[in-house]
Structure formats: structure tokens, C-alpha cells
Amino acid sequence: MMTFRPIALTLISAMGLALTSCSPGSTPDGEADTHMVQSVIPAERFFTADQFTYANHQEVIVSHADLDLDVNFNRKVLDGAVTLAFERLAPEAQTLTLDTKDLLIKAVALQTQDGWTPADYTLADADPVLGSAMTINIGSEASQLRIIYETSPSAEGLQWLSPAQTAGKEKPYLFSQAQAIHARTMLPIQDTPAVRLTYSANLRVPEGLLPLMSASQDGQSEDGSYSFSMPQPIPSYLIAIAVGDIKFKAINDTIGVYAEEYILDASAEEFAETPQMEVVNTALYGPYRWGRYDLIVLPPSFPYGGMENPRLSFMTPTLIAGDKSLTNVVAHELAHSWSGNLVTNSNWRDAWLNEGFTSYVENRVMEELYGERRAVMEQVLDMEGMKRAISEAKRPELTHLKLPDDMAHPDEAFTLVSYIKGANFLFFLEDRFGREKFDPFLRNWFNDYAFESVTTEDFLSFLHENLHKDNPDALTRAELDAWVYGPGLPDTARKPVSDAFDEVAGLSARWENGEISASGLPTKNWSTHEWLHFLNGLPELTRAQYKDLDDAFSLTGTQNAETAFAWYMQAIKGGYEAAYPALEEFLMTVGRGKFIYRLYGALKDNGQAEMANRIFAEAKAGYHPIAQRRISATLSE
């Protein structure tokens, strides 16, 4: 799929040269490579071409996209034009190759001395994952081109909701999800995180609807269209749009919440501590560089907990628990303003640079704000999830931090391996070097690579130069390699112990033995975390035991989505049918992948495939295309 071009080879060999210049032997004590971070890493590990793009970005790079679009709810398409500004890195380059998927291309023009003139282009046959390469003849002078196009009603990156699928039931809704490679279903673009670009947009929407983008919301002009500008260069997967009957509520002068009316006040209340999170994040890792930080609470079909679209994180309504117990997801999306959005993985093979760093920063912020007790509980819960992800991995290479070069789809990079093994690698480094050294080191990483796209090997080099070189005894090459290039969880991992959870486990055992009844469990002060630990740790129960718990705590039908999920997983495992109607209701109203993928999987694995298929057939229309695809695959396996 990727063809090597001379410039790419030059880049790769230049990287190789830089590496050999700090080869073994440069250590003062001649101890060669035991302490050297990057010297003996095989050259192939530095090969970082993105297998999921057709873009020839080593030759010509798109630096700005200006969108001018009608948001057409009747036809479920974005219809209009994009003007792309580009720069030639290879002076002789005469073609620009873009990623497209399911786009209807109507015309292409180049800006030349004679004004806009039609350009020659070709659209290759579509690959089911990657879409179609669009190659445009750009001549040798032009630096701007315009593409007139429209999206497909079934664009993977866009979900068009009918009024009935929203809470207000009166107006339609549109939201996008470009990560990992769906930006190409929204516009023709170099859809790789290796390329950063600025963007601006002009959107026309039906009366009564408000459009928002991952950009500065520049307001409405006299003709009724809305303008947006993103002056900081971002990767394409952070281009985002939401349109609906959306209202705004400020939390402070620079932070606020957008949501449908029904959930606006509750959302602002739930996320009231976001300003403190920003203060803590800034104190630890340097300034917030994006202007405003707002959150938008999307309709329930949003398939993720959150998406870190810059200036405007997209959030699931399942976080609105009423007690701020699930706001670590806000800490997570906000943390992406440093890790991911500011310093970006240049390839999905390096996804841990986004997600592992962010999960680490999230936990540090939670510790600062809520104390070690809560932070450690979250570490333990995360660790349990990660161990399951490792055990479920289709092949060992998918449990490496540096992921293999033959992933079938970049979605394979978004497992708890990238998130939690990644975070634990940073815990390991923090423990070995100490916070007093590690915190300023990370701060410098975010500062030195701000607005750049980087690889795992860039990080290892930076680690070597800025921390390890002067503290060579802190860790060995073998330990480092085990984390980055080895499978599973290394035995050097931190082993978090939560006293709170130990207490829960002790009480749970006494209840299981029949020493105390469920109503005798002292759960009054349990947080959601303690509930999750309790529920996740339950062995197979008798029908009477399920009923005992349910009668005491009304777990069936609970409004806390995390607790509900944990309980329904147990109910499915034990065949506790009294919970099934509420479980069905949950699957009909919640579209967050974290919950529904495993619930459908559990139903299928526990002899309830028929029920799973029946509910899915009915619930499907309310799920995001990404979720539909994934659940269809699970149920047909």
C-alpha cells in the first residue's frame, strides 16, 4: 500500500544516523548498552510510515483547510467545498494525494495566476478500511486547491440523528467522530496524525439549530452562517462538528458546557470542578494553550466516554451520575489538551503516547484534587480492566506499547493496553526516577514537542537524553524494552493496593459466606469505585443471593451507568432474569461502546444470543455506525 519515495528514505536514514551517533561506547564507563535507551533498538522500529493513509505527506503537506458547508439534514450530507493550502516539501512534487472515503467529488480547481482553473485528478478504487486515494495534479506553482464535494449519508464519521433519537424529540442532531481514520469521510484530507493543519469553517445550518466545532466559535454572520477558526495546528482526527438544539451554560469565564436543555443544568453541576482540573493540570505540565475549554454532552448514541476534540471535548451523557463520581473522564479529556492534542502520536502504532500519557496525567490530576485514596482505587480498577484486555488480545503483539505494523484497523490500537499499560509504564518511570525529576521531565516533553507529532522512539530518545543519561542506574534497557516492545504487563509494574478495596473485599467475603446479609453491609459511604470493586469481584451467586443484593440496594435500574453495567454483567453471568428488562432498557438507551460491546458479548457467551440479537435489531438504529459495526461483528462471530 505504501510506496517508498526518495524523500521518505532520506528521512528514515537521517533518523537512523542520528541514532547511531549515540551508540554504545559513548557511555563514559564503557558499559555499552545496558543503560542505553535507544542505541540497540533495531532500525525497523524507526520505520514510522502510517499504513492507514494514502497521503504523500513526505512530499506535499496540507497546512490549512477552509471548509464552506451546508449541513443538510434532509439528505444527511455535508455539502459544499474545502479549500486546501499546501506546501511542497519535495520541490519537484507535482501531485498531492489525499485520503477520501465515501465522498462524492464534484469538481477540483487549482488557484493559478489565471485564477481558479480546473485540475486533473484521479480517485482510486475504494479499500474497505482506507477508502479511496485521491491524487490531484498540482503542477509546479499552485499552493491552493478547492474541492467541491459532499459526504455520504452513511459516512462512518458522521451520525445523523432524527428528532426521535434526541432527548428533545423536536429537532435533528448531527455529531462527528473522526478518530481514528474517519475524517476522510467528512472531507478530502491527509488523514494521518503525522500531519498537522490549521482550519477554518463556515457552516450553514437549518434555523433553530446551533453548530459547534473543535475550534473557536466565531459566531453568526448576517447571512446566518456560522464561522469557526482553529489557529493551532492539529491532526485531522481532531476536526469535529456537532449540530443540534444545543444550549450553553458557563462554568466560569473560560469553561462551559453545551448540551440539550434537559441535561444542561445537571451537566454544568456534574462538571463544576473542571476549572480546578485545569489549574492542577497547568501547574503540573505547563500552560493550557487552546484558549477556551468547553464540554459538550452529546446524545446517548455517542459511542465513547469522551473525545478530546480541542477546545470542545465531546462527552457521553452516561457521565452525569449526579454525584461527580465519574468525572475522571473529564480529567482524561482535558489532559488530552497536553498529551494527544499538543504532543500527538504520529502513527496509530504509537497510540499509547496519546492514551497512556493521558491516562497517567488523568490519575495525577485526580490524586491532586481528590486525594490518593481515590486515585489508587482508580488505578486498581484500571489494572483489572487492563489485565482482562491483555488476556483477550487476539495476538501478543497487540499487547505491546509499540504496536505492530500490520494492524487490520487502527481501532485495534484503542484497547486498555494503550491506555493503562501506557499509564503504568509512566508510573514505573515515575517510581524509578522520583517525582521531583519525573514531573519537570514530562513538563519539558510537552513543551519541547508542543504542536508536533511524535513516535515512541522520539520519547525513548528524549527519556534517554533528559533523564536516563544522568541517572543510569534507575532502570535497564531490558526493563525498558519489556515495557515498550514486549507483551503483557512486565513484572516491574507498580502493584497498587487500595485499603478501601481490601475492606470491601473482606465484607464481600463475609456476605458470600452468609455471615451478614446484604442489608447489613455498611455501604452508606461507598463511592462508585467501591461499588464497582464489589460487583466486579463477585463470584457466581445463587439466585437468592442476587435477590438479596438487589432488594437491599436496588441495583437493577440504577441510574449510575458504571454501576448498572457492572451489575448487568453479573446478572448475565448468573442468569438473574429479574434484571433483564432493565438491562434491555439500558441497551436501548445507552450507546457507549465501553458498556454495550461487553454486554452483548456476555449475553452471547452465556446462552442468550437470541435475546442479544433481538435487542440489537431494535436498538441498532440508535447506535453510532462505529458501534453497529462492532456489535454486528461480535454477534456474528
- Chain residues in the site for Zn ion (CB under 5 A): 355, 358
Query: Which residue's CB is nearer to Zn ion, number 358 or number 558?
Result: 358
- Measure the CA angle with vertex 344, ends 99 and 174; round to 5°: 55
> Which CB, 217 or 359, lies closer to Zn ion?
359
* Contact indicator for 19, 438 with CB cutoff of 8 Å: no
Tell me the closest approach of the beta carbon of residue 74 to Zn ion, in angstroms.
34
Type of residue found at 562: E
Cell of 483: 515495557
The closest of 94, 93, 90, 98 to 62, measured between CA atoms, is 98
- Supply the Cα-derived Rg of the chain in whole angstroms: 25
Residue bearing cell 459532499: 150
Least distance to Zn ion from the beta carbon of 341, Å? 10
Residue 372 and residue 307: Cα distance in Å, rounded?
26
Complex with Zn ion: residue 414 or 580, whichever CB lies closer: 414
Would you name the residues annotated as active-site residues?
333, 419
Least distance (Å) between residue 308 CB and Zn ion: 6
As measured in angstroms, the least distance from the Cβ of 265 to Zn ion is 27
3-state per-residue secondary structure call for 222-239: CCCCEEEEEEEEEEHHHC
Contact 490, 399 (CB under 8 A): no
Q: Which is nearer to Zn ion, 358 or 608 (CB)?
A: 358
Q: Match 507498580 to its residue by C-alpha cell.
A: 494
C-alpha cell at 375: 486515585
CB of 531 to Zn ion, least distance (A): 24
Of 327 and 358, CB closest to Zn ion: 358
Neighbour count for residue 394 (Cβ, 10 Å): 9
Looking at beta carbons only, is 482 or 627 nearer to Zn ion?
627
Q: Which of 348, 283, 291, 254 is nearest to 49 (CA)?
A: 348
Residues in a beta bridge with 241: 213
Q: Single out the residue of 80, 76, 89, 70 nearest to residue 5, CA to CA.
A: 89
| Whole-number Cα distances in Å, 416 to 157, 202, 253, 298, 387 | 22, 37, 35, 23, 9
Task: Say how far apart CA 31 and CA 28 lie, in whole Å.
Answer: 8
With contact defined as beta carbons under 8 Å apart, do 149 and 141 qualify? Answer: no
Compute the least distance from the CB of residue 381 to Zn ion, in Å. Answer: 16
Helix, strand, coil: what percent of the chain each, to 5? Answer: 45, 20, 35
Cell of 205: 445550518
Q: How far is the CB of 382 from Zn ion (least distance, A)?
A: 13
Going from the C-alpha of 123 to that of each of 100, 139, 186, the distances in angstroms are: 9, 18, 16
Collapse the DSSP code of 110 into the 3-class scheme (helix H, G, I; strand E, B; otherwise coil) and give the result.
strand
Beta carbon of residue 315, minimum distance to Zn ion (angstroms, whole number): 12
Distance of CA 136 to the CA centre of its chain: 31
Nearer Cβ to Zn ion, position 151 or 418? Answer: 418
Q: With respect to Zn ion, which residue has the nearer C-beta, 48 or 313?
A: 313
Q: Which CB sits closer to Zn ion, 46 or 314?
A: 314
CB of 333 to Zn ion, least distance (A): 7
Distance CA 410, CA 301 (A): 21
Q: Decide whether 355 or 430 has the Cβ nearer to Zn ion.
A: 355
Q: How far apart are CA 299 and CA 313, in angstroms?
A: 14
Beta strands in 472-552 (DSSP E): none
CA separation for the pair 289, 501 (Å, rounded): 38
Instruction: Give the sign of the dihedral formed by CA 37, CA 39, CA 44, CA 47.
Output: positive
User: Which grid coordinates belong to 40?
Assistant: 540497540
Q: For residues 137 and 76, is the Cβ–Cβ distance under 8 A?
A: no
* Closest CB 180 distance from Zn ion, rounded Å: 12
